[in-house]
Chains A and B, each alone.
Chain A
Amino acid sequence: MKKFGNFNIAALVIGFSFLYIPIILLILFSFNESRLVTVWGGFSTKWYSELMQNQGIKDAAWVTIKVAFVSSTMATILGTIAGLVMTRFGSFKGRTLFSGMIYAPMVMPEVIIGLSTLLMFVALAVDRGVFTVTLAHITFSMCYVAVVIQSRMSSYDDSITEAALDLGCTPFRTFILITLPIILPAVISGWLLSFTLSLDDLVIASFTSGPGSTTLPMKIYSMVRLGVTPEINAVSTILVGLVTLGVVTASIIGRRQKQQTI
């Protein structure tokens, strides 16, 4: 193996520091004894126990988890269908337009998605709340699931489906017994991905939420405006931990699935 040059090591250190020092600082200071955020006063977990006493944060966390769970489940169902349809139909007139339209929310500025969904809810006179936040989250995370499923389906041998039909299995049972179990890892990683996306979304939630539907990122944001407290560090650390867990699990599942197909 080639030895790393000094330049490469330096580049690596600087790059990773740039990415992770802020997050590491945040995690470190969440275990700070002192009330002052920037002054180290010894190790303590007291901000975590204080967090448990804060009803506002607990409510926000509960709302966030509810929204994330429902929206990621719905987004997974819709995104899986979209991904399957895009591969199943092969090429047809306007296919590029269709697939482009599925992916568009990935590159669309979040402000635009938030604003447009807000305008729609206002126009339809829907009361904003947990329901509208969930809907908005389904909209933007669905495309991520569709991408994951579509990339899985590109290595899926269609004759497996045909073999099941040929052996007397109805099309619906074939989907349940054959296709779904085979693509299940992709479905799960799609779900985890949309769950974490929903968990840390601030912009779209701010636009589409109403009274009683403050999500955790919104709560943190509003608390920060009154000054950063170690409590915020603590709740952010938990959030970072959750998101990391989701992403890592998704990638492990993805890797195992790749091994299985080879």
Chain B
Amino acid sequence: MSELHSVNPWLDPSQKPYIQIENVTKKFGDFTAIDNLNLDIYKNEFFSLLGPSGCGKTTLLRMLAGFEKVTNGRILLDGEDISEIPPHLRPINMMFQSYALFPHMTVEKNIAFGLKQDNLPPNEINQRVEEMLQLVELTDFAKRKPNQLSGGQSQRVALARSLAKRPKLLLLDEPLGALDKRLREQTQFELMDIQEKLEVTFVIVTHDQEEAMTVSSRIGVMDSGNLIQVATPTEIYEAPVNKDVADFIGDVNILRGIYKGQNDVGTQLHSDDSDSIVFATQEVGASTGDEMWFAIRPEKLEISKKKPTDQYNILNGRIEDIAYGGSFSTYHVRLDNGRILKAIRANRVRTEEHHLTWEDEVYLHWAPHSAVVLLS
């Protein structure tokens, strides 16, 4: 158990949070960007703030950096209230979305800039710059100016510059947003390696849910200035707290229905989408007649032409569209009532014996433990 706790400090009540955001509110005029938000982040976490644009995630990050003042509440770093400390005195560094490299300085000078502000001796500055250049594999580019670098190189210079001062906390604002897909995936792993090697706490802002899932220890899903759910990527994906989170993270099929009660299988729902009764093993506190939803991920829906032997969790429809993705195919199935559900099937066999094609009559089936019951 103790090992689990060191990996997941948020489960261990004896662990002290490294960053404490307490009842923080931020208003711009009449507009409330952050609404009474509370969040604890622990040492060495790779924490992602995820949400649609305008949800307040960047504002929250800028408050941690000190570029925005909190309207109400306070922010503690390692137990010390930093709410009133100006940005240049905070032991926090940030990597900007635009990279914000100084265009009139070489790569070397960009990285050394923060160290010079601390009046370190020149040989130590040189040594650290050298270290950073090696870390991001840009030693050969030390004398170049920012306008002579590619997007990926600029991104690494920005990272090196923000890490040079060995901050305890590094803030990253959409750090990979400007890179193409392949480079982005590669850089995600590099970021994770660097974070582990240097033992820095990372707080990253992103609107890319895949990126957040890949890199994070925990994700905070934000909407309209508040946190909706804070959990590990697996929990967010497999046990979202409501329809919005389920819908925002990954693809999902949502069945609406009326609560019928519990039985030995689990929660029982009467849905307009299915003739059979639908079950989920998850138990919820609800009373008969309540409206609720079942969320089922497309890869958890089994699709077949043969009617399943089970008597429950069956939907039938017709294949309307197939998106062939190489390793897997996504089927859009139109139910009799007109709704379209998505099912994903891995293409395990090269020549499909039970080949599915357009207009096929199919059955969708799922195990009772595959669906999540949502009350809102």
Contact = CB atoms under 8 A, between A and B. Distances in A.
Contacts of B104: 181-182
Given A162-B67, A182-B103, A167 B98 contact: no
A166 B88 contact: yes
Contacts of B165: 167-168
Given A157-B100, A166-B92, A178-B102, 13 more contacts: A160-B100, A160-B102, A162-B87, A162-B94, A163-B100, A166-B87, A166-B93, A166-B94, A167-B113, A168-B89, A169-B88, A169-B113, A261-B103
B311 interface: no
A171 B67 contact: no
B102 A260 contact: no
A24 to B, nearest CB: 41
Contacts of B101: 160, 163
Nearest to A170: B88
B105 to A, nearest CB: 9
A170 B88 CA distance: 6
Interface in A153-190: 157, 159-160, 162-171, 173-174, 178, 181-182
Contacts of A157: 98, 100
B114 interface: yes
A159 B113 contact: no
A253 to B, nearest CB: 14
B161 interface: yes
B118 interface: yes
Contacts of A174: 88
Nearest to A259: B147
A170 to B, nearest CB: 6
Interface string A67-81: 000000000000000
A159 B98 contact: yes
B97 interface: yes
A159 B103 contact: no
Interface of B: 65, 67, 86-89, 92-94, 96-98, 100-104, 113-114, 117-118, 147, 161-162, 165
15 contacts: A157-B98, A159-B98, A160-B103, A162-B87, A166-B162, A167-B162, A167-B165, A168-B114, A168-B117, A169-B113, A169-B117, A170-B88, A173-B117, A174-B88, A181-B104
Nearest to B97: A159
Output the residue of B88, B89, B92, B103 with the most chain A CB within 10 A: B88
Kindly list the 6 A-B residue pairs having the minimum CB-CB distance in the complex, ordered from nearest: A167-B114, A168-B117, A163-B100, A159-B100, A159-B96, A165-B87
Contacts of B117: 167-169, 173
Contacts of B96: 159, 162-163
A163 B88 CA distance: 9
Contacts of A260: 103, 147
A38 B88 CA distance: 69
Contacts of B86: 165
Contacts of B161: 163, 167
Contacts of A165: 67, 86-88
A169 B165 CA distance: 12
B161 to A, nearest CB: 7
A165 B94 CA distance: 10
A261 B100 CA distance: 12
B156 to A, nearest CB: 15
Output the residue of A168, A173, A174 with the most chain B CB within 10 A: A168
A194 to B, nearest CB: 24
A164 B102 contact: yes
Given A159-B97, A163-B94, A168 B103 contact: no
A168 B119 CA distance: 11
Contacts of A167: 88, 93, 113-114, 117, 161-162, 165
B155 to A, nearest CB: 14
Contacts of A182: 102-104
Nearest to B86: A165
Nearest to B104: A181
A170 B119 CA distance: 13
A159 B172 CA distance: 13
B218 to A, nearest CB: 24
A168 B88 contact: yes
